[in-house]
A and B are shown apart, each in its own frame.
Chain A
Amino acid sequence: MKIHEFQAKAILAEAGVPIPRGRVAASPAEVRAVAQELGGPVVVKAQIHAGGRGKGGGVKLAKTPDEAEQVASQILGMMLRTHQTGPEGQRVKRVLVEEAMAIRRELYLGIVIDRAVGLPVLMASAAGGMDIEEVARTRPEAIVKVHVDPATGIRGFHTRKLAFGLGLQGDHVKAAADFVTRLCAAFERTDCSLAEINPLVVAEDGRLLALDAKMNFDDNALFRHPEVQALRDLDEESPLEVEASKYNLNYIKLDGNVGCMVNGAGLAMATMDIIKLAGGQPANFLDVGGGASAEQIENAFRILISDAHVKAVLINIFGGILRCDRLAEGVIKAVRSLQVTLPIVIRMEGTNVEMGRQMLRESGLNFIAAQGMRDAAAKAVRAARAA
């Protein structure tokens, strides 16, 4: 799960990580009030989940409260487009107003899970403000890494390695150690999957601050963090995906016209792949789970067909335990109750597969039976083209 910058900063502040003075605001008048309160120049930052906000015109400097109000009126309500939002952009509902400051150095500090090692890894780089993946590709030696063993937690030598690796000196070494330790604690306490401070700045006045902050959370651990769950912003997610998540369906909308409904994530991805190989484009990823009850199938159908681009549906179920007669029953019921008129290609394997096929044949509905994935994809792509 993703959250906004201002929410991440609130979590960090609570953990004792130093952040700039500031407050979130939802109207130009409110922005003006915050700017007045802060005194001096401020930065007005659009709050959307996507990165690249500055380049898209979502981050502006204002010298006076008047100016802050004026830039806020431009940013609030705009459809902010960045390389992460997609072409339609994301509407800005709130801005973060923070003290502007003179900056001596911009650094990078992040924590992610290193899957290959099975441990959280801290990464620091003197190339702050830059895309860390880009740094990793072009100058991997510029990134200092430290793995944190859960048995010991983060130790002094870890933080010193990072601080000296960043070229910090004097009091800053100690300040950085404290910063890193507190960030680690926040990461662990809230079950983050990623915590990124980019940039971590050394201000002209000597302070070490998290100028920006990004935190993603492990969806599997949300059950034990209701306070984090409460930060979810449904406006930042696709409405169909929000709807699907209510029914425990894994749905991701894509750009094609062949809707697919599959059991299991791997098979669902493979089904998208084979649609592409058959010359078509998948309209979505949809994993109905291992079981796929009649109710789930109906909900899945409803979500699938509410995407207006879908011209044909491909159902690919490799039932282990699943009985194909039950599946057929669920599909027939869903198609009748939702009055689906789209061509539906069904490929199924599992117990009672013959009975299931017979039920589909005798239903009088517009089903196209397929044998195997290749056949199913070819038929679905053909049906989508003809539609």
Chain B
Amino acid sequence: MSILVDRTTRLVVQGLTGREGTFHALACRDYGTRVVAGVTPGKGGLVHEGIPVFDTVAAAVGKEGANTSLIFVPPAAAADAILEAADAGIGVIVCVTEGIPTLDMVRAHRALQGQPCRLIGPNCPGLISPGKAKVGIMPARIHRPGRVGVVSRSGTLTYEAVGQLTERGIGQSTCLGIGGDPIIGTTFVDALRLFEADAETDAILMIGEIGGTAEEEAAAFVKASVTKPVVGFICGQTAPPGRRMGHAGAIISGGSGTAAEKMAAMRRAGVTVVKSPAEMGDAVARLLAAGARAVPSPAKPHTPKKRPTARARASSEKPRRKGSRPGRVAAKAGKAGRGQTSRGTKRRG
């Protein structure tokens, strides 16, 4: 199943004809994602790298049945691009753009409340459901299909985590970068809720960072509503207070938002928190192995009765399930029709 993107995804790339937009749109298409349209105002009617270009998102939705958008629009116009996508009825809006003014995001975020769409980002790498669809800028080759959900505020640190999982033979259901900005569309809580409800996700790896209280809120949600095992890591344990550590949202202010607080909150909620970024993969492997020994819970219908080790399990699941073939082949076999709305677009309550 995975979350948010899969073979039914019909992607429109906003800012397709720019350098970054073109590069990543083609990489998404190469992976098997159906890139059905691009939007560049003023260039409607062109066909760019085999992708039809439209002046508006509404036209891309109307003509090509786009249901998901990937935004590469420069910061000054990016909030507008998000609102345009929502207005056109796009279900999943992924904004990669870094550097959007915070007050622009305040207005956009507010305007999206109650609308039937989900924003991911901004300032994020996007998301990938390995073997199904890639909607983002992450390197495809480090992923492999499987049953661990990954959610993170970071880009390259997510790749690091995914790399560790794949190296240990552990595949991923969906890997989601929620973005490093102070105001983002999809939060840890939203992602955890989706992974918890996803029948093809067995465990969750959550990578947070200093600043704000999103990890504390996630911890409270885990305690109340997540039955699947969660591994957590918080970066910025050595970050000095009051300094913005690259990400606009990564700042310890007024003594709050520290890694120590977040790690403690997550531990109290039953999350397996690792101190070192080198231990993320091993911790997930251990949890999966322990889960294999435990009695399968009803929340995990796909859990086989006996799994000797995580590695053996992960490698055994590849031929066992549908949907773990390479993306390109899988996408061609996909049957979803045009204009079908995306799933999982319910906004957080």
**B274 CB, nearest partner CB in chain A, Å:** 10
Would A115 and B156 be within 8 Å (CB), given that A133-B256, A221-B103, A269-B235 are in contact? Answer: no
- Are A118 and B246 neighbours in the complex by a CB distance under 8 Å? no
Chain A's closest residue to B183 (CB) is A118
Of B58-66, B86-94, B106-114, the stretch lying at the interface with chain A is B106-114
Q: State whether the Cβ of A285 lies closer than 8 Å to any Cβ in chain B.
A: yes
- Are B248 and A266 neighbours in the complex by a CB distance under 8 Å? no
A119 to B107: give the CA distance in the assembly, Å: 8
A264 to B100: give the CA distance in the assembly, Å: 17
A277 neighbours in B (Cβ, 8 Å): 275-276
Q: State whether the Cβ of A254 lies closer than 8 Å to any Cβ in chain B.
A: yes
Q: Which of B70-86 contact A (CB under 8 A)?
A: 75-76
**B258 CB, nearest partner CB in chain A, Å:** 12
Chain A's closest residue to B257 (CB) is A115
- Are B214 and A266 neighbours in the complex by a CB distance under 8 Å? no
Of B8-16, B157-165, B197-205, B329-337, the stretch lying at the interface with chain A is B157-165
- Are B159 and A115 neighbours in the complex by a CB distance under 8 Å? no
B155 neighbours in A (Cβ, 8 Å): 264, 266-267, 290, 320
Of B38-46, B236-244, B309-317, the stretch lying at the interface with chain A is B236-244
Chain A's closest residue to B256 (CB) is A133
**B27 CB, nearest partner CB in chain A, Å:** 8
Interface core residue of B100, B240, B278 (most chain A CB under 10 Å): B278
Q: Which of B139, B154, B278 contacts A266 (CB 8 A)?
A: B154
- Are A372 and B278 neighbours in the complex by a CB distance under 8 Å? yes
Interface core residue of B105, B152, B250, B276 (most chain A CB under 10 Å): B276
Interface core residue of B158, B249, B277 (most chain A CB under 10 Å): B277
Interface core residue of A115, A221, A350 (most chain B CB under 10 Å): A115
Would A269 and B250 be within 8 Å (CB), given that A118-B110, A252-B240, A318-B159 are in contact? Answer: yes
Q: State whether the Cβ of A12 lies closer than 8 Å to any Cβ in chain B.
A: no
Q: Which of B105, B163, B239, B276 contacts A274 (CB 8 A)?
A: B276
- Are B110 and A150 neighbours in the complex by a CB distance under 8 Å? yes
- Are A191 and B103 neighbours in the complex by a CB distance under 8 Å? yes
- Are A269 and B214 neighbours in the complex by a CB distance under 8 Å? no
Interface residues on A, range: 35 or more
Q: Which of A240-260 contact B (CB under 8 A)?
A: 250, 252, 254
**B217 CB, nearest partner CB in chain A, Å:** 7
Q: State whether the Cβ of A263 lies closer than 8 Å to any Cβ in chain B.
A: yes
Q: Which of A133, A265, A318 contacts B160 (CB 8 A)?
A: A318
A220 neighbours in B (Cβ, 8 Å): 75, 99-102, 248
Q: Which of B99, B154, B217 contacts A264 (CB 8 A)?
A: B154
Interface residues on B, range: 35 or more
- Are A321 and B139 neighbours in the complex by a CB distance under 8 Å? yes
Q: Which of B103, B138, B183, B245 contacts A268 (CB 8 A)?
A: B245
Q: State whether the Cβ of B28 lies closer than 8 Å to any Cβ in chain A.
A: no
Would A252 and B158 be within 8 Å (CB), given that A133-B256, A273-B276, A320-B137 are in contact? Answer: no
Q: Which of B196-231 contact A (CB under 8 A)?
A: 207, 209-210, 212-214, 217
Would A118 and B109 be within 8 Å (CB), given that A252-B240, A372-B278 are in contact? Answer: yes
- Are A270 and B157 neighbours in the complex by a CB distance under 8 Å? yes
Would A266 and B207 be within 8 Å (CB), given that A118-B106, A150-B110, A221-B103 are in contact? Answer: yes
A252 to B236: give the CA distance in the assembly, Å: 13
Q: State whether the Cβ of A149 lies closer than 8 Å to any Cβ in chain B.
A: yes
Q: State whether the Cβ of B319 lies closer than 8 Å to any Cβ in chain A.
A: no
Chain A's closest residue to B102 (CB) is A218
Would A373 and B106 be within 8 Å (CB), given that A220-B99, A250-B246, A269-B236 are in contact? Answer: no
Q: Which of A84, A290, A349, A351 contacts B242 (CB 8 A)?
A: A84
- Are A374 and B278 neighbours in the complex by a CB distance under 8 Å? yes
A263 neighbours in B (Cβ, 8 Å): 156
* A to B CB contacts below 8 Å, 26 in the list: A116-B214, A118-B110, A188-B103, A191-B101, A224-B101, A254-B238, A263-B156, A264-B155, A265-B154, A266-B207, A266-B235, A266-B250, A267-B160, A269-B209, A269-B246, A269-B250, A270-B160, A272-B236, A274-B278, A282-B238, A290-B156, A318-B160, A320-B156, A321-B139, A351-B139, A374-B276
